[in-house]
Amino acid sequence: MDKSITYGKNFFVSGIAAWAVVSFIYSIILTGILKNYNLTTTELVADAFINNLLLTGSCVLIINNMRYYLPRQERYWYVLTISLGLSGLCVLISRVSLWLFFKNDAHYTEVLSSSTALRFGILFLLITCISLISLLWFTQEEQKKMNERKADSERLAREAELFKLRQQLQPHFLFNSLNSISALTGSQPEKARHMIQQLSEFLRGTLKKDDQQWNTLDEELQNIRLYLDIEKVRFGHRLQTQIIATAEALPLQLPSLLLQPLVENAIKFGLYDTTDEVLIKLQAVIENNYLKIMIQNPFDPETSQPLKGTGFGLSSVQRRLFLLFARNDLLHISKEEKIFITTILIPQL
């Protein structure tokens, strides 16, 4: 029902235009035929008027009918039946009414009865045409609406998914950091205060970026540094970090918070896969119109499961890249002896 409301002005303008065209054609054909019968002007006008009126009535009926009810199956039989019925009805009414008007005019009634079959043929063709056109038009309209709805729901789902993928802060990190702060408050309150500030700044950055799709590398790296500083308080000398980015790479854009899960992953693997000191290295360069970022962490080839360790961090990044760029080849991992390398490419448009 609601679809009729949404058609609006456009619908009426095209409806009237179509009607004008059909009426015009019909009038020409009708007068063309009747001309040969030597009829008076009154008779011609009355005949054309009544027939046009009936045709218009049929058109309005068909269009309104299709507007609220579009047959799903056997639609062409439906059109045929309706056209047949309506043209028959029209011919009947026009004949009866015209006969009533001109029943004393023998010549005219003669013409009337002899042209019945012809009239029916023409009306039938025109009404079928109208029905088919409106059927197609409404079907197309419905299709368009459906596509719009589909596109809308897909876009919404995509946005929701991207939002979810952006905000995946590890609860472990938060709770462990709070525990470190709790430990520091007793012995080194100054350090505790400093860590609270770092943590707040990091969280603020993360929250801010929640509704922001893109960011510069420079800003992203600032947040990564904050994160790493906090982790260093937790793990002490065991964790070493190195961030190298070329000056040209810093202003480039990348999806916000994309690097965070990769760095978290590197730390998790680095720190939990070995008991030695761990160096996490992040490098960013420009390469062939791509921003290329490599993140390295040590791992133990003997005990870590081969390639099974992609984990949630990597798969969520992969998914995000796919949703944004429709490509699956932007993230890959490689291993060099005891170093695990995650490489990510961000196309620069």
Partner 1 sequence: MMKVIIIDDEHLARSIVKEYLKPYKNIEVVAECNDGFEGLKAITQYEPELIFLDVQMPKINGFEMLELIEKPPAVIFTTAFDEFAIKAFEQNAVDYLLKPFSKDRFDKAIQKYLQQPLASVSLQPVIETITKSTTQNRIVVKDGNKIKIIPIGQVQYIEAADDYVKIITADGSFLKKQTMNFFDQSLADHQFVRIHRSFIVNSQLITRIDVHEKDGHLLLLNTGARLPVSKTGYAKLKEVLGI
- Select from 75, 194, 232, 234 the one that contacts partner 1 (CB under 8 A): 234
Which is nearer to partner 1, 51 or 180 (by Cβ)? 180
Using CB under 8 A, which of the segments 28-36, 74-82, 272-280, 318-326 binds partner 1? 272-280
55, burial (CB in 10 Å: exposed 0-12, middle 13-18, buried 19+): buried
Taking the least distance from each CB to partner 1, the nearer of 74 and 276 is 276
By CB under 8 A, tell whether 233 contacts partner 1: yes
Select from 56, 65, 168, 274 the one that contacts partner 1 (CB under 8 A).
Answer: 274
Shortest gap between Cβ of 209 and partner 1 (angstroms)?
A: 23
**Pick from 183, 196, 243, 333: which binds partner 1 (CB under 8 A)?**
183
Interface with partner 1, residue 335, by CB under 8 A? no
In whole angstroms, how far apart are CA 2 and each of 7, 8, 12, 161, 332? 9, 11, 16, 31, 50
Does position 137 interact with partner 1 (CB under 8 A)? The reply is no
Does residue number 64 form part of the binding site for partner 1 (CB under 8 A)? no
User: Which one, 253 or 274, has the nearer CB to partner 1?
Assistant: 274
In angstroms, the CA 148 to CA 142 distance is 10
Which one, 124 or 173, has the nearer CB to partner 1? 173
Strands 290-298 and 278-287 turn out to be: antiparallel
d(CA 113, CA 153): 60
Alpha-carbon gap, residue 152 to 328, rounded angstroms: 24
Stretch that binds partner 1, among 213-221, 256-264, 304-312, 340-348 (CB under 8 A): 304-312
| Only segment of 104-112, 227-235, 288-296, 341-349 that touches partner 1 (CB under 8 A) | 227-235
∠ CA 338-339-340 to the nearest 5 degrees? 125
Give the bridge partners for 281, in sequence order: 242, 296
Residues ≥6 apart with Cβ < 8 Å to 319: 161, 165
Contact status: 303 vs partner 1 (CB under 8 A): yes
Question: Shortest Cβ distance from residue 306 to partner 1 (Å)?
Answer: 8
CA distance 319 to 325: 10
- 3-state class (DSSP) for residue 287: strand
**According to the binding rule CB under 8 A, does residue 187 interact with partner 1?**
yes
CA dist., res. 35 & res. 31, Å (int)? 6
CA contacts within 13 A on the Cβ side of 134: 31
Query: Among 236, 288, 326, 329, which residue sits at the site for partner 1 (rule: CB under 8 A)?
Result: 236
275 is a site residue for partner 1 (CB under 8 A) = yes
Report the candidate in 290, 270, 288 with the shortest Cα–Cα distance to residue 279.
270
Spatial distance between the Cα atoms of 231 and 247, rounded to a whole number of angstroms: 26
Cβ–Cβ under 8 Å, residues 30 and 47? yes
Cβ atoms of 67 and 138 within 8 Å: the answer is yes
32 near partner 1, rule: CB under 8 A: no
Binding residue for partner 1 (CB under 8 A) from 81, 179, 200, 334? 179
Applying CB under 8 A, among 273, 316, 331, 340 the residue interacting with partner 1 is: 273
Size of the site for partner 1 (CB under 8 A): 29
Contact residues for partner 1, defined by CB under 8 A: 171-172, 175-176, 178-184, 186-187, 233-236, 238, 271-275, 300, 302-303, 305-306, 308
